[in-house]
Amino acid sequence: MLVVEAKSELRAQDFDALAATVDPWVESHGGLRGLVIHAREFPGWENLGGMFRHIRFIRNHHRSIGRIALASDSTLASLAPHLTEHFVEANVQHFDHDALERAIGWAGEARD
């Protein structure tokens, strides 16, 4: 299980660092049970490179992550489970920003 704190605009190198953490784990364990993204609001991207790297990270990893919990008060996070259900294999769930412990508990459960 991995918890990511997003506090500033997302940069391409953020997703490179995330992949460098996730990929060895996935390779040796066959997958990642859960990923929790914790951000009061969606911080946006630094530039188009950050946005495209984000999309590539999702494309390359959604099959190897069981659950993704979005602990955020962002409207976008509340819509994410509905927006992603047709193209992301991971189960995506929204939680309020202050419900981080609940989000971690849910994301750590066995895959649906």
pLDDT greater than 90 at residue 109? no
The enclosing domain of 22 has a CATH number of: 3.40.50
In a domain, residue 22? The reply is yes
pLDDT value of position 76: 87
Range of 75's domain?
A: 2-107
Which residue type, as a one-letter code, is found at position 76? L
Q: Is the pTM of this model over 0.85?
A: yes
As for how many domains the chain has, the answer is 1
Sign of CA dihedral 97, 102, 57, 78: negative
Residue at 112 is within a domain: no
For 22-39, the pLDDT digits (tens) are 999 999 999 999 999 999
97 is a domain residue: yes
State the pLDDT confidence band at 110, using cuts at 50, 70 and 90: low
Give how far Cα 57 sits from Cα of 7, 15, 19, 22, 98, Å.
Answer: 18, 7, 7, 10, 26
